[in-house]
């Protein structure tokens, strides 16, 4: 089962006006930052839809993690109370699974909770932090298999948000706390130790052979990323186990490509192009990909790119244009065969005029279909 199968109403990442009209929003504020956390209202469940992260007037729309986005937070959705004024707490069942008869029922339900926290900074700093912590409990009798993606994963249904002039980076960690506990009489139950009733003195975790008397922990590799979150895991949650996932996002002013390279998949506008395996792909004649605010080496006279080209589609061209897909052409790269669409090699071309400063760069394939895939590119002096 894929967790995305339970999404109802507006698609994740869909930011159309029609979708926005179907949500209610809970704002959180901290110094220079406001986050409007929106959930759906026109379906039977109220799923978290998106977070509008506004820092010094600049909006960046953020998709929740695929765990948080599939929690029906109908009756428990609030700031303040037992969380801070700059925090929001949501709690409910996973869509597709019924609630138990009480919040502490350990049979027949998959329930979870999420907390969002925003920490702003001084006005005009364009600096902020956004956190998501989500926990999911399997209180059922069968294992639960989920495809999990982190907060601020690249949207698949719309163009990505414009991060021009910003640096967004962060990390995601996730772990599973082992399943099952025994009551004081030694009887086994499905559930998590952290979810025992208040009278649970004397309860203990079910150990495996030779293991100590506490729940096992499975820790997934922590992912650190710049730009969009790359955390993606297939998770199997046994009866009684809990999944915890914590993501921190940070924003500050900064170049899109501080090392001179621009990632092919980081295009901010496009036509016909696609992202496959973390690179720019599906480049056919008439397609294009645009990149805002590319920092170009002073008086660059050459362009180089890591490209992968299948032999049967070789020798098509990739035009380099400034300003728009039909803007000033400053060079073209003839795409030579690299042996296949998955075999990347560095290819270089001389520019027809020097290029410098911060530029909006457009890559425009000329030829037929399947011109090649682009992992990254940059402007250089040679």
SS3 sequence, 140-186? CCCCEEEEEECCCECCCCCCCCCCCCEEEEEEEEEEEECCCEECCCC
Mean pLDDT computed over 245-251: 97
Which residue's entry shows tokens 């109908």? Answer: 74
Beta bridge partners of 204: 182
Does 105 have pLDDT greater than 70? no
Q: What angle do CA 355, 361, 367 make, to 5 degrees?
A: 110
Q: pLDDT tens digit string along 347-369?
A: 999 999 999 887 899 999 999 99
**The pLDDT of residue 16:** 38
CB 256 within 8 A of CB 262: yes
CB 170 within 8 A of CB 247: yes
**The pLDDT of residue 162:** 75
| More confidently predicted of 39 and 179 | 39
CB 173 within 8 A of CB 67: no
**The pLDDT of residue 293:** 78
> Using 50, 70 and 90 to split pLDDT, how confident is the model at 23?
confident
Mean pLDDT computed over 46-62: 91
Does 214 have pLDDT greater than 60? no
Among 44-48, 116-120, 129-133, the least confident range: 44-48
Does 15 have pLDDT greater than 60? no
What's phi and psi for 264, nearest 5 deg? -60, -35
**Pairing between strand 288-308 and 373-380?**
antiparallel
Chain-wide mean pLDDT for the chain? Answer: 82
Mean pLDDT computed over 257-268: 81
**In the CATH scheme, what architecture does the domain 262-380 have?**
Sandwich (2.60)
| More confidently predicted of 280 and 2 | 280
**The pLDDT of residue 102:** 47
Does 303 have pLDDT greater than 80? yes
Distance CA 12, CA 16 (A): 11
Mean pLDDT computed over 241-253: 92
Q: pLDDT tens digit string along 268-298?
A: 899 999 999 889 999 999 999 999 878 886 6
Domain ranges of the chain: 3-253, 262-380
Distance CA 22, CA 298 (A): 48
Please report, rounded to a whole number, the percentage of residues in the chain having pLDDT higher than 90. 53
**The pLDDT of residue 19:** 43
Q: pLDDT tens digit string along 123-137?
A: 988 899 999 999 998
Distance CA 198, CA 182 (A): 15
CB 154 within 8 A of CB 161: no
**The pLDDT of residue 13:** 35
Single pTM value for the model: 0.60
Does 155 have pLDDT greater than 90? no
Mean pLDDT computed over 101-114: 61
What's phi and psi for 286, nearest 5 deg? 95, -15
Does 170 have pLDDT greater than 60? yes
Among 165-174, 191-200, 349-358, the least confident range: 191-200
CB 159 within 8 A of CB 250: no
Beta bridge partners of 167: 252
Cα torsion 304, 308, 311, 315: sign:
negative
């Amino acid at each position: 089962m894929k967790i995305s199968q339970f999404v109802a109403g507006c698609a994740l990442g869909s930011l159309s006006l029609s979708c926005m009209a179907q949500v209610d929003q809970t704002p959180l504020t901290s110094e220079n930052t406001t986050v409007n956390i929106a959930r759906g209202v026109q379906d039977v469940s109220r799923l978290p839809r998106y977070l509008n992260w506004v820092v010094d007037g600049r909006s960046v729309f953020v998709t929740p993690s695929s765990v948080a986005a599939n929690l029906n937070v109908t009756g428990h959705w609030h700031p303040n109370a037992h969380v801070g004024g700059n925090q929001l707490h949501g709690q409910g069942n996973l869509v597709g699974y019924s609630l138990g008869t009480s919040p502490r029922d350990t049979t027949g339900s998959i329930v979870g909770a999420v907390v969002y926290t925003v920490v702003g900074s001084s006005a005009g700093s364009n600096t902020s932090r956004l956190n998501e912590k989500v926990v999911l409990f399997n209180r059922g009798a069968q294992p639960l298999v989920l495809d999990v993606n982190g907060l601020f994963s690249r949207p698949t249904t719309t163009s990505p948000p414009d991060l021009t002039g910003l640096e967004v980076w962060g990390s995601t960690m996730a772990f599973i706390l082992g399943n099952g506990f025994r009551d004081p009489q030694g009887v086994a139950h499905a559930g998590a130790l952290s979810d025992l009733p208040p009278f649970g003195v004397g309860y203990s975790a079910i150990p495996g052979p030779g293991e100590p008397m506490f729940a096992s922990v499975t820790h997934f590799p922590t992912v650190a990323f710049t730009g969009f979150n790359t955390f993606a895991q297939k998770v199997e949650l046994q009866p009684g186990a809990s999944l915890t996932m914590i993501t921190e996002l940070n924003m500050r002013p900064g170049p899109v490509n501080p090392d001179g390279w621009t990632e092919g998949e980081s295009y901010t506008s496009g036509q016909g192009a696609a992202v496959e395996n973390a690179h720019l792909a599906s480049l056919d004649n008439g397609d294009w990909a645009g990149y805002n605010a590319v920092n170009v080496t002073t008086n660059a006279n050459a362009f180089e790119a890591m490209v992968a080209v299948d032999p049967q589609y070789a020798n098509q061209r990739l035009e380099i244009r400034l300003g728009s897909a039909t803007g000033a052409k400053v060079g073209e790269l003839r795409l030579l065969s690299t042996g296949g669409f998955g075999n990347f090699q560095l290819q270089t071309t001389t520019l027809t005029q020097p290029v410098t400063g911060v530029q909006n760069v457009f890559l425009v394939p000329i030829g037929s279909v399947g011109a090649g895939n682009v992992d990254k590119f940059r402007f250089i002096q040679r």
